[in-house]
Amino acid sequence: MILNLLLAFFGEVMKIYCEAVHGLAMDMADKLTRSRMGLSSGRFGDWACQLGMSKYSFIPETVGSTGVQLHADTGFLAILQADDGVSGLEVMDKSGSFVPIAHWPGTFVVNLGDVAVACSNGRLCNVKHRVRCKEGRVRVSMGTFVLAPKEAAIEAPDEFVDAEHPRLYAPFTFTDYRKLQSV
């Protein structure tokens, strides 16, 4: 009985969290496309989103090991909420060095993925990142990902393509892109 109540409460909390972070993600993506790309708003209403939760069971013997291999996110935008007590996120800078991301309690980390690069015809850049074990404690993080249109082709708007900026990426669907990533 108590377990059922706890599960119901957890479900309600997650629903509220997901709705709030989804709204934040849509707002951030919209503001980014208007301010950095000069495009009209309202582009993300039919885009797929995903919530992911990760638990890293680090122990003292795993300090220095990798929790998540180096990668760039495939979608448009990611909002990450890390554990308030355990760091570990690192980004790769232009020189190929890793920079630890200091976590400030109550904040999110936002990064762009491959779809943002394609949609901007290379004007925006993604960030390669990984998670490293910094201390022998459990680390938990949650990510909300704005992926891509559910069915429409992904391509840079015509405003981003001209003689000086040829189209860098042929139109593609997110489903086809994910299939290529899994090979």
> In this structure, are residues 147 and 174 in contact, taking their beta carbons and an 8 Å threshold?
yes
Mean pLDDT of the chain: 86
Query: Between residues 102 and 167, which one has the greater pLDDT?
Result: 167
pLDDT of 90 strictly over 90: yes
Express each pLDDT in 97-139 by its tens digit.
Answer: 999 998 788 888 999 999 999 989 998 899 999 999 888 888 8
Q: What b/e readout covers 29-68, taking b as 16+ CB neighbours within 10 angstroms? A: bbebbeeebebeeebbeebbbeeeeeebebeeeeeeeebe
Express each pLDDT in 24-75 by its tens digit.
Answer: 888 888 888 888 777 766 677 778 889 888 888 888 998 888 888 999 999 9
pLDDT value of position 45:
74
pLDDT value of position 183:
66
